[in-house]
Structures are given as structure tokens and as C-alpha cells.
Amino acid sequence: MMANKEINNLLDDIMIEHIANAPVSELMAEDNLTSDDIVTTQARFLGRVHECKQQYKKARLKNARSQLEIEKKKHEAVDVMAYLATKGKDARDVLVELFVQQKLPENLTLAHREGKEFTDEDAQQILANLIAMGAIDVDNKGD
């Protein structure tokens, strides 16, 4: 049974290669095609390819939007003030402590502030982002 399938696949490959290498005039004569038939078929094919590309783009966009909503919900659920209350420290102190203990992600970078002071709100936002990303475990009592 397997040999028949392999033979059929081989014959299909040979036929496809023959058709692909045949001159257009030969194919037109063999199937009684006119140039209008070919143009119509080509337009239909290109239209279908364009339609598939559009569907793919829409599916990617829909997926990206749903992932964005998931991330937004993570950030909305973060209660930085409650986390800071359990620590008994302000946001800056917690960030410094995490930095000293090397508990921050290795690839974490902060933008250059051009001489501006680092505010408590900045520190709280960084903590909120780290918690939402899962880099800081708020349920971990040893943290």
C-alpha cells in the first residue's frame, strides 16, 4: 500500500515538473486555452492570494490586540501601594534593594533622564511594570 502512495507521489512530481517546464503555447494548445483564459485564471489566482494575505494580516492583528488586552489587564491588576505597604518601604528603596540583591531582570534598562530627578511616581511605575511582567513575585514572602 505504501509503495503505491510513493509511486503516485513520484508520478505527481514528474507531471508537475513537466507542466512547469512546458512552453505556454504547448499548454494552451493541449487544453484549448486562449490568452484570455490564462489572464482570467491568473487574475483569479492573484485575487485569491491577495485575499489570503489580507485574512492572515487580520488574524495577526486580532491576535496582537488580544495579547495587548491581556497585558493591559495584568497591569491594571497590579496594586503597587499594597505591595509597598507589605514591604514597609517606598518604591525607590524597594528598587534599590532588588538591584543590590540582583533580583531584577538582567536585560532591564532605564532611559537616561537628562539630569531630571527620579520621582516616586517613576519608581512606582517601574515596580508596577516589573510586577505585571512577573519579574517581581508579590506573593513571595521572602522577597
Judge if 43 and 104 occupy the same domain. no
Looking at the domain assignment, is residue 143 inside a domain?
no
Under the banding of pLDDT at 50, 70 and 90, the label for residue 114 is low
Judge if 6 and 59 occupy the same domain. yes
Looking at the domain assignment, is residue 111 inside a domain?
yes
Judge if 93 and 36 occupy the same domain. no
Looking at the domain assignment, is residue 45 inside a domain?
yes
Judge if 62 and 15 occupy the same domain. yes
Going through 26-133 in order, the beta strands assigned E by DSSP cover: none
Per residue in 56-94, pLDDT (tens digit) is 999 999 999 999 998 888 777 778 888 888 888 888 888
Coil vs helix vs strand at 64: helix
Under the banding of pLDDT at 50, 70 and 90, the label for residue 142 is very low
Judge if 11 and 66 occupy the same domain. yes
DSSP 11: H
Q: How many domains does the chain have?
A: 2
Structural domain boundaries enclosing 110: 78-133
Looking at the domain assignment, is residue 108 inside a domain?
yes
Q: Is the dihedral of CA 40, 43, 49, 55 positive or negative?
A: negative
Judge if 50 and 91 occupy the same domain. no
**Class of residue 5 by CB neighbours under 10 A (exposed 0-12, middle 13-18, buried 19+):** exposed
Question: What pTM did the predictor assign?
Answer: 0.43
Looking at the domain assignment, is residue 139 inside a domain?
no
- Nearest by Cα to 76 from 121, 133, 132, 120: 132
* pLDDT higher than threshold 90 for residue 54: yes
Looking at the domain assignment, is residue 142 inside a domain?
no
Judge if 47 and 98 occupy the same domain. no
Residue identified by cell 486580532 is: 62
Residue type, 39: V
Judge if 54 and 115 occupy the same domain. no
Judge if 50 and 107 occupy the same domain. no
Asked whether the beta carbons of 124 and 89 are under 8 A apart, the reply is no
Looking at the domain assignment, is residue 109 inside a domain?
yes
